[in-house]
Amino acid sequence: MAIILGDHQYGKAENRVVRIYRDAKRHEIRDLNVSTALRGPFDPAYLSGDQTNVLPTDTQKNTAFAFAKSKGVESIEDFGLDLARHFVHDVAPVEGARIEVEEYAWERAVVDGVEHDHTWLRKGQEIRTAAVTVDATGEHVIGGFKNLVLLKSTGSEFAGFLSDEYTTLQETHDRVMATSLVAQWRFTSVEVDWEKIYAGIKQIMVREFATLQSLALQQTLWHMGRSVLEAYPFVAEVRLKAPNKHHFAVDLSPFELENPGEVFIAADRPYGLIEATVLRDDAPDAGDAWRISAGLA
Amino acid sequence: MAIILGDHQYGKAENRVVRIYRDAKRHEIRDLNVSTALRGPFDPAYLSGDQTNVLPTDTQKNTAFAFAKSKGVESIEDFGLDLARHFVHDVAPVEGARIEVEEYAWERAVVDGVEHDHTWLRKGQEIRTAAVTVDATGEHVIGGFKNLVLLKSTGSEFAGFLSDEYTTLQETHDRVMATSLVAQWRFTSVEVDWEKIYAGIKQIMVREFATLQSLALQQTLWHMGRSVLEAYPFVAEVRLKAPNKHHFAVDLSPFELENPGEVFIAADRPYGLIEATVLRDDAPDAGDAWRISAGLA
Amino acid sequence: MAIILGDHQYGKAENRVVRIYRDAKRHEIRDLNVSTALRGPFDPAYLSGDQTNVLPTDTQKNTAFAFAKSKGVESIEDFGLDLARHFVHDVAPVEGARIEVEEYAWERAVVDGVEHDHTWLRKGQEIRTAAVTVDATGEHVIGGFKNLVLLKSTGSEFAGFLSDEYTTLQETHDRVMATSLVAQWRFTSVEVDWEKIYAGIKQIMVREFATLQSLALQQTLWHMGRSVLEAYPFVAEVRLKAPNKHHFAVDLSPFELENPGEVFIAADRPYGLIEATVLRDDAPDAGDAWRISAGLA
Amino acid sequence: MAIILGDHQYGKAENRVVRIYRDAKRHEIRDLNVSTALRGPFDPAYLSGDQTNVLPTDTQKNTAFAFAKSKGVESIEDFGLDLARHFVHDVAPVEGARIEVEEYAWERAVVDGVEHDHTWLRKGQEIRTAAVTVDATGEHVIGGFKNLVLLKSTGSEFAGFLSDEYTTLQETHDRVMATSLVAQWRFTSVEVDWEKIYAGIKQIMVREFATLQSLALQQTLWHMGRSVLEAYPFVAEVRLKAPNKHHFAVDLSPFELENPGEVFIAADRPYGLIEATVLRDDAPDAGDAWRISAGLA
């Protein structure tokens, strides 16, 4: 009955890499938060403090910034692949690498009706994410986003549910439904037009949220995931995490006012939390694709 | 030499009021965070615990939600005026009221190229603010926004500065300039097309940020404030608070890479912080217009 | 090639349950954040919006508050077990339950040198956590904490590491080491003196952090985990996640000052991130013990 | 009717200065967040971009770190005075300086019952603050803290309040009262035993919160402020800001459970917000003592 070292990994989290393209008069910007983690025979560092195999996290940081120049940032999925392949293929002891990237979107300032060449406003909507894993079993890319806040003011119901002695909730056939959606989708290819597919997936999810007469947030998630899989054969699996951000209709009757779905209090906590995975029944093995490091993507 | 009670106020902060308009098929949404504070002869509550004059903060909350129905939310400036006037005019002991409102913008979901009737995405950009003060001296409205994150990738310099024995900074004639702007403007009228003027002021500030060849963030602020005052005679004063969100060019020379303004690290702390008030020399007295309560607007 | 529903769960997250014991003159307080999630045959809710099997998240909330009264909060591990067993055993369709609890510690106010009977200051140090899973395979309890911020001003080295073309870091044999530790430990019993063991485990980890001459944060984590397993035979596994909160010695030489490890800048981002699992080689199967829901514990 | 530049200031905010004393085997630690701001004839920087008088914020940062070595950190009030005096007296154009400091407390790790020489746990309770202003009118020091979270489970009432048509609140003679207190006190001397007085003021405030049978949070604040002024003749004024962190008793009657003040839900928003200034009627003029810069102290 020995005590042993189990899973381990280490890296540099939250490198705030900003890449400006200024070759033309019209500049471009990519604004990233890059976390790297390495996996491999680092047991001696734990067991005896021997760093022989340990590439410093400081070096990982340097590599992220150097690659922003030498490889560029065409898309965060490719940027993650570039970094992960480098660590696994070029740094001898490294057996696996996990790269998690957040991307913050900017939109061009509009001055006198014209988009400006080198000024932007942070868009502030959803944060795009990518999680890339490269190891002996292959290459895995997960795209995604988080903090996409959606709200519909009608077209949502909740009724016919199970009841027990702790149930006080009333049924409703018209409520506000709102969430701050976290979505991740696993690709089965690395030859993807990442920018185009990202926009397409977001569009599908927004469409399903808007158009489905929702009998539960669960049902909405299923429709979101299924529609993405139907549209993109190279996506094997979609994972969704959706807080039900409650908007409670305020009882205005003490003030002799009616409130037919017009005035709500947006509650902070507690919130419902609905999770689902939608996948193909022949989805290839995910390997370590879903093993997080910093957990930011 | 007595110990006395000085300034005091009390209220209910951060009422998360969401108002849906559903009279037509195309719904509308206004999403607010409302803080109220009352001023007046509440000394007995402090000195002896006598609540005779104290309208509960719970009642202030109820009023905010009831007014969202009975008065509606045409603009946050008017909503604040409605609430403040009510407290001062209708609740006997109250002498002054301060209403601070944050507004979160939403944009319509687009489905198959068409704006959806009742689904939105939280826009996520700047937070619009209003601070309304009503008391015996009159009515004061301050509009504003915060968290407007702006970045320009060129057109910014910093040189010719004062140097002492602790100075190590190098001059630069081409740097990234970024800020998360907080702006507030004081109106001298309450008869204003609030929605239109808000859009106009934001547009002017973005334009000045973008187009001025900036010799310092200070200079940019001055141009922003002055341009707003030039455009709108009923704005007396503009207050600006701008963190200089440093983007440091990364030294890639150890890796035999050049970095002509292409790769930056976005730093968290410390940050520069530049503040300025721009005003008319004949600006009317501000009274308590700038006396904050919750401090959220 | 069908599209199917994979793993799913749903619940109510972040119920802020505060339990006061006031049977004696000396009151007691337990301050919790409780998240519940249910697992089972809820597919119809996703696939067709049929809620027949769905116990509302609102009911889960009610249950958490009712149990705070009827079962009490002797320890968060037991509180989680009470809730999880109830959902699995008493609510017909439920097959598995996951309860995650955060606990915030309070310390008694001291007035004139005496502990006060009914007044506390929030302690503000680490947040204690418990994650309980009950399903057909049995009962799993994970204890833990997060946000335990530790710092040592000497007794930490980092040298002898791997170097490549992106390495610029210098070796050091005396540095500040600081982290905000996240630790979780899996019990193999539910008959545990939870309060006593929690205190014991925290003490051991603090001791190891303090006394080991650390050659790397990795080594410190290993010693922490191993020592806990050596002390408590009913703990099978310890998982540790430790951000390396960098404190960089400031170069004061331009100001003709020496800085022998006295003045540091505490950096925000990026940070190193070191993770490790330490376990017994005969640890029983963990089942779904590590499958998170809200992810707060 | 000209447009003019009004109040302005600029500086470097949130320098995370950590000072270790390692002269003896038993090290000491001071952990600060330092913000500096300068006031003076900086108009040309705004009006024309002329930086001749502008000491860079980067230089201010360097000075803060250099002073941590050369002056040391005996107390944050003195550290702030050292910095402010330097900027005003040693840097020609500077006319006024505002230094705001936050301090994070650490407590020594205890290993085998003995305090460790060089390892600490972040205490995590209140954040101590100091705000120092030096200008032509003199030197002003404000001490304080924030985030001191206090709760009493009985000894708090709220009744006899004003009622109008929006009032639905019930009177109570036994409720939980909790706050996250922000307190600031203005000294009339700079010859103060800062460490001792800080501890004394905190103790007084905790005592008043605990022992007063509170008829309203307002009354509690008055007692806190008055007691501090009675104890320390060199304190002229105390400012208090106290969110009423509501703990609502949960209605358990649907579950056939009584709840005599035992189970509460801790609400996030909205919250009451009570503010008061308590001062001597002969308090000397405050000058710019209360004019904030970063606003962190």
**Are B153 and A180 spatial neighbours (Cβ–Cβ below 8 Å)?**
no
Whether C229 shows a pLDDT value over 80: the answer reads yes
**How far apart are the CA of A14 and the nearest CA of chain B, in angstroms?**
11
In a domain, D296, yes or no: no
How far apart CA A110 and CA A121 sit, in angstroms, is 9
Q: Going by C-beta distance under 8 Å and a sequence separation of 6 or more, which residues neighbour residue D24?
A: none
Residue that is written with structure tokens 């994979």 in the block:
C6
Chains that touch A (3 or more CB pairs under 8 A): B, C, D
Which residues are bridge partners to C96 per DSSP? C39
Region B84-98 average pLDDT: 98
Q: pLDDT grade, residue A254 (50/70/90)?
A: very high
What is the DSSP secondary structure assignment for residue A78, as one 8-state letter? H
Residue by residue, DSSP assigns B79-145 as HHHHHHHHHHHHSTT--EEEEEEEEE-EEEEEETTEEEEEEEEE--SPEEEEEEEEETTEEEEEEEE
Residue D269 in any domain: the answer is yes
The catalytic site residues of A sit at 12, 57, 246
Contact across the interface for D27 and C153, Cβ inside 8 Å = yes
C-alpha distances in Å from residue A127, one per residue of A130, A176, A184: 10, 24, 12
Average model confidence (pLDDT) for chain C? 98
Nearest to B269 among C166, C254, C268 (CB): C268
In a domain, B1, yes or no: no
Partner residue opposite C271 with nearest CB, options A14, A230, A237? A14
C-alpha distances out from residue B267 to A61, C182, C263, D88, Å: 14, 25, 20, 28
Same domain, A175 and A254: yes
On chain D, the residues whose CB falls within 8 A of the CB of B234 are none
Q: How far apart are CA B115 and CA D180, in angstroms?
A: 44
SS3 C23: coil
Nearest to C8 among A48, A50, A277 (CB): A277
Bridge pairing between strands A114-122 and B138-152: antiparallel
Q: Which residues contact C138 (CB under 8 A, 6 or more apart)?
A: C287
- Tell me the pLDDT tens digit for each residue of A27-56: 999 999 999 999 999 999 999 999 999 999
Residue C277 and residue C159 share a domain: yes
The predicted pLDDT at position D142 comes to: 98
Question: Among D18, D203, D265, whose Cβ lies nearest the Cβ of C65?
Answer: D265
- Rounded Cα distance between B62 and C78, Å, is 39
Looking at residue B1, what is its pLDDT?
72
Tokens 């939403």 -> residue: B106
Does residue C292 form part of some domain? no
- Point out which residues pair with C152 in neighbouring strands: C177, D119
Residues of D in contact with B274 (CB under 8 A): 10
8 Å CB contact between D42 and D80: no
Q: Are residues D161 and D272 in the same domain?
A: yes
Q: Which residues contact C108 (CB under 8 A, 6 or more apart)?
A: C115, C116, C119, C120, C121
Spatial contact of A184 and A238, defined as CB atoms under 8 Å apart? yes
- What percent of chain D has a predicted confidence (pLDDT) above 90? 100
CB contact under 8 A, C226 and A62: no
Give the model's pLDDT for residue A293: 97
Three-state SS at B52: coil
* Contact flag D168-A254 (C-beta cutoff 8 Å): yes
Q: What is the pLDDT of residues C234-259, one digit of tens each?
A: 999 999 999 999 999 999 999 999 99
With a cut of 50, list the residues of chain D below it in pLDDT: none
In this complex, how many residue pairs, one in chain C and one in chain D, have their CB atoms less than 8 Å apart?
Answer: 202
Residue C1, pLDDT above cutoff 90: no
Structure tokens at C270: 């990026």
Same domain flag for C125 and C192: no
- Which of D61, D245, D246, D247 is flagged as catalytic? D246
Which residues of chain D have a CB within 8 Å of the CB of C66? 252, 255, 257
**A199 phi, psi to nearest 5 deg:** -60, -40
- Are D97 and D137 a contacting pair, CB within 8 Å? no
**Does C85 reside within a domain?**
yes
pTM over 0.90: yes
pLDDT tens, position by position, D30-89? 999 999 999 999 999 999 999 999 999 999 999 999 999 999 999 999 999 999 999 999
Distances (CA, A) of D168 to B62, B63, C147, D265, D272: 8, 11, 40, 19, 16
Mean pLDDT, chain B, integer: 98
Average pLDDT of span B219-236: 98
Closest-CA residue to A184 (of A137, A134, A224): A224
Spell out the residues 6+ positions from residue B106 whose beta carbon is closer than 8 angstroms to its own.
A151, B29, B31, B120, B121, B122, B123
d(CA C285, CA D31) in angstroms, rounded, equals 44
Chains that touch B (3 or more CB pairs under 8 A): A, C, D
Residue where a domain stops, chosen among B111, B136, B161: B136
Burial environment of residue B287 by CB neighbours within 10 A (0 to 12, 13 to 18, 19 or more): middle
Cβ atoms of B265 and B247 closer than 8 Å = yes
DSSP for B136-163, written as a single string: TTEEEEEEEEEEEEEEESSSB-B-S---
Together in a domain, D54 and D165:
no
pLDDT in the model for residue C2: 96
Chain D residue nearest residue C155, CA to CA = D118
The token pair that represents C171 in the structure block: 């070796």
Q: Residue A245 and residue A180: Cα distance in Å, rounded?
A: 7
Q: At what angle do helices D57-70 and D76-90 cross, to 10 degrees?
A: 130
C-alpha A284/C-alpha A233 separation (Å) is: 12
Distance to chain B for D17, nearest Cα, Å:
10
The pLDDT, as a whole number, for residue A1 is: 72
Mark yes or no for CB contact D263/C120 under 8 Å: no
**Nearest C-alpha of chain A: how many angstroms from B124?**
4
Asked casually if ipTM beats, i.e. exceeds, 0.95, the reply is yes
Instruction: Please state, in angstroms and rounded to a whole number, the distance separating the CA atoms of residues D192 and D189.
Output: 7
Strands (DSSP E) contained in A105-137 are 106-111, 114-122, 127-135
Chain D positions touching A246 (Cβ under 8 A) are none
Are C47 and C166 in the same domain? no
Q: Which of D107, D152, D224 to mutate to test the interface with C (most CBs of C within 10 A)?
A: D152
Cβ pair A49:C167 closer than 8 A: no
DSSP code, position D234: T
Residue where one domain finishes, among candidates A136, A164, A195: A136
Show residues of chain D in contact with C16, CB under 8 Å: 265-268
What is the torsional sign of CA D166, D170, D171, D175? negative
Contact A255 B21 (CB under 8 A): no
- Residues of B identified as active-site: 12, 57, 246
Sole residue written with tokens 């003995």: D114
Which residues in chain C touch residue D260, judged by CB atoms under 8 angstroms apart?
A: 22
**Chains with 3 or more CB pairs closer than 8 angstroms to C?**
A, B, D
d(CA A188, CA D209): 61
For residue B154, CA distances in Å to A20, A103, B174, B217, B219 come to 10, 21, 6, 13, 15
Q: Which of D174, D212, D263, D265 has the highest number of chain C CBs within 10 A, making it the mutation to test binding with C?
A: D263
Q: Shortest Cα distance from B187 to chain A (angstroms)? A: 25
Q: How far apart are CA D15 and CA D228, in angstroms?
A: 31
In a domain, C297, yes or no: no
**Residue C15: closest CA among chain A residues belongs to which residue?**
A270
Partners of C31 on chain D (C-beta within 8 Å) are 266
Nearest Cα of chain B lies from the Cα of A267 at a distance, in angstroms, of: 8
Partner residue opposite B168 with nearest CB, options C165, C168, C254: C254
- A28 and A110 in a single domain? The answer is yes
In a domain, B159, yes or no: yes
**Which residue, of D136, D166, D187, is where some domain finishes?**
D136
Helices (H), A172-296: 194-211, 217-231
Query: What one-letter code names the amino acid at D106?
Result: W
Cross-chain residue pair A155–B116, CB shorter than 8 Å: no
Residue C167: other Cβ atoms inside 10 A: 18
How many angstroms separate the CA of residue B201 from the nearest CA in chain D?
16
pLDDT at A59: 98
Q: How far apart are CA A13 and CA C245, in angstroms?
A: 11
Structure tokens at B84: 């403040």
Cβ-Cβ contacts under 8 Å, D13 against chain B: 243, 269-273
Q: Do D17 and C122 touch (CB under 8 A)?
A: no
Q: Tell whether C167 and C238 lie within a shared domain.
A: yes
CB pairs under 8 A between A and B: 202
- Dist. CA B243–CA D295, nearest whole Å: 12
- Cβ neighbours of residue D133 under 8 Å, at least 6 residues apart? D84, D96, D97, D98, D99, D139, D140, D287, D288, D289, D291
Phi/psi of residue B153, nearest 5 degrees = -90, -5
Inter-chain contacts counted by CB atoms under 8 A, chains A and C: 266
Q: Which CATH number fits the domain that encloses residue A27?
A: 3.10.270.10
Mean pLDDT of B116-120: 98
Give the amino acid at D259.
Answer: N
pLDDT of amino acid D168: 98
Listed residue (D132, D127, D104, D126) closest to D292, CA to CA: D132
Domain identity same for D129 and D182? no
Question: Which chain D residues touch C147 with a CB distance below 8 Å?
Answer: 124
Closest to A296 in 3D by CA, of C126, C241, B248: C241
D224 to chain B: closest CA residue: B46
Is A189 contained in some domain?
yes
Residues C116, C80, single domain; the answer is yes
| Number of separate domains in chain A | 2
Q: Is the CB of B263 less than 8 angstroms away from the CB of A151?
A: no
Given an 8 Å threshold on Cβ–Cβ distance, is D56 in contact with B167?
yes
- Closest CB to B255: pick one of C165, C254, C255: C165
DSSP D9-38: EEEEEEEEEEEEE-SSSS-EEEEEEEEEEE
Q: Euclidean distance between the first and final Cα of chain B, in Å? A: 37
pLDDT at C70: 98
DSSP class per residue in D249-297: EP--GGGT---SS-EEEE--SSEEEEEEEEEETTPPP-TTTT--SS---
Q: How far is A23 from chain D (nearest CA, A)?
A: 28
What distances in angstroms separate CA B271 from CA B268, C48, D57, D99, one per listed residue? 7, 52, 8, 15
Q: C27, C57, C116, C241: which is the annotated catalytic residue?
A: C57
The residue type found at C233 is: P
What's the average model confidence in pLDDT over B250-264? 98
- Grade residue A157 by pLDDT with cuts at 50, 70 and 90: very high
Beta strands D28-39 and C263-266: pairing type?
Answer: unpaired
d(CA B78, CA D6): 28
- Strand ranges (E), chain D: 3-21, 28-39, 96-104, 106-111, 114-122, 127-135, 138-152, 177-187, 235-244, 247-249, 263-266, 271-280
Identify whether residues A255 and A236 lie together within a single domain.
yes
Q: Is the peptide bond before A41 cis (omega within 30 degrees of 0)?
A: no
> Range of A130's domain?
9-136
CA distance C71 to chain B (A): 32
Neighboring chain B residues of C255 at a CB cutoff of 8 Å: 165-166
Compare CB distances from D55 to B49, B164, B218 and report the shortest one's residue. Answer: B164
Distance CA C208, CA B150 (A): 46
Taking the CA of residue B166 and the nearest CA in chain C, the distance in Å comes to: 6
Q: Nearest-CA neighbor of D166 among B98, B139, B12, B14? A: B12
Same domain? B114 vs B34: yes
Contacts with D13 from chain C: Cβ below 8 Å: none
